[in-house]
Amino acid sequence: MNDADWRPGAAVPALRLRARMLERAREFFGARHVLEVETPLAVSRTVSDVQIESLRLAGDSPRYLHTSPEYAMKRLLAAGSGDIFQICKVFRAAERSALHNPEFTMIEWYRLGFSLDAMMEETAALVAAMTTGCWAGAAAPVQTLSYRDAFLRELGIDPLQVTEAELAQLCAARGLVPQSVSGADRDELLDFLIATVIGPKLGQEQLTCLHHYPASQAALAELDAGDPRTALRFELYAQGIELANGYVELADGAEQARRFASDAAGRAARGLRPVEPDERLLAALRSSLPRCAGVALGFDRLAMLAAGATRIDQVMAFAWDKS
């Protein structure tokens, strides 16, 4: 450690910008009568997603720092809370880059009866309200683009029909190393192409929602009844950076249990730590989760774009290396 290591990573103007943006978020939800809630940071069950690793707390009884307040907020929804939002710290292990910090701030909210289109529009409206005067693109009408159309436009392939062998060949041509190609499944290959080819081109002139992801990437979203090959899920992009992930929420407890089991098999195949399913969430889904849509927005990335910064460290008082 050097003598200057005590100093914050964010300059005072960036801290003031963060404060204004959070104030605007609360004003936005307040005007829409969305209730602010708080749920525990330390939880007994964590996410089963094979792409996410949790930070585990020391102690005899397993506890984890939550990666999202989603499970707890859905229990509130099932208990009759109505529309809710939360601004909180979340934690994800081994995520460190210009766009990642293991501890970051998330804005997550749920709206009863909202369609995917309505949720995309509200997410864009929130981002525009929080970044007023910072990026002109946020004030333009949001662009929507289906996952399938994005692949057809940029790569000339249909991601719902292309074979895994064709995907592997395309990824290799785009720079994915042979060891990674041979060890990747279909969704990992698609994710590589999103990250390297498609995502960086999205949201350059205006906010862009990429929607209707493949059913295999549904996570906690409903499948589209009109085309069950796809899920009612979207991601919001600005200047090539993914800011938010939204779903029309799955309310079927039996289907969610099946997806937990599928995640468990995927984690075992990758040699990852096993994760017990959240039985309280499953009970809430079986009880009375209302039809709703939800979004998780990475606040630090949005603050970075609003500030014209190139790393989220520059808009955090103390990032991981200085904490």
Which residues, including other chains, have CB under 8 Å from residue 296's CB and lie 6 or more apart?
Answer: 68, 70, 106, 107, 108, 244, 245, 246
List per-residue pLDDT tens for the chain, 323 residues long.
666 789 999 999 999 999 999 999 999 999 999 999 999 999 999 999 888 899 999 877 889 999 999 999 999 999 999 999 999 999 999 878 999 999 999 999 999 999 999 999 999 999 999 999 898 888 889 999 999 999 999 999 999 999 999 999 999 999 988 888 888 889 999 999 999 999 999 999 999 999 999 999 999 999 999 999 999 999 999 999 999 999 999 999 999 999 999 999 989 988 888 989 999 999 999 998 999 999 999 999 999 999 999 999 999 999 999 88
Gap between the Cα atoms of 123 and 111, Å rounded: 11
Task: Report the pLDDT value the prediction gives residue 177, as an integer from 0 to 100.
Answer: 86
Task: Report the pLDDT value the prediction gives residue 176, as an integer from 0 to 100.
Answer: 87
Q: Is the dihedral of CA 268, 272, 273, 278 positive or negative?
A: negative
Fold held by 12-142+206-322 = BirA Bifunctional Protein; domain 2 (3.30.930)
Gap between the Cα atoms of 276 and 63, Å rounded: 12
Task: Report the pLDDT value the prediction gives residue 61, as an integer from 0 to 100.
Answer: 81
Which secondary structure element, helix H or strand E, spans residue 257, and what is its range?
A: helix 253-269
Nearest Cα to 73, choosing from 103, 35, 101? Answer: 35
> In 3-state terms, what secondary structure has residue 180?
helix
Gap between the Cα atoms of 107 and 110, Å rounded: 11
Task: Report the pLDDT value the prediction gives residue 23, as an integer from 0 to 100.
Answer: 98
Which residues, including other chains, have CB under 8 Å from residue 125's CB and lie 6 or more apart?
Answer: 28
Q: Per-domain residue ranges for the chain?
A: 12-142+206-322
Q: Is the dihedral of CA 62, 266, 215, 88 positive or negative?
A: positive
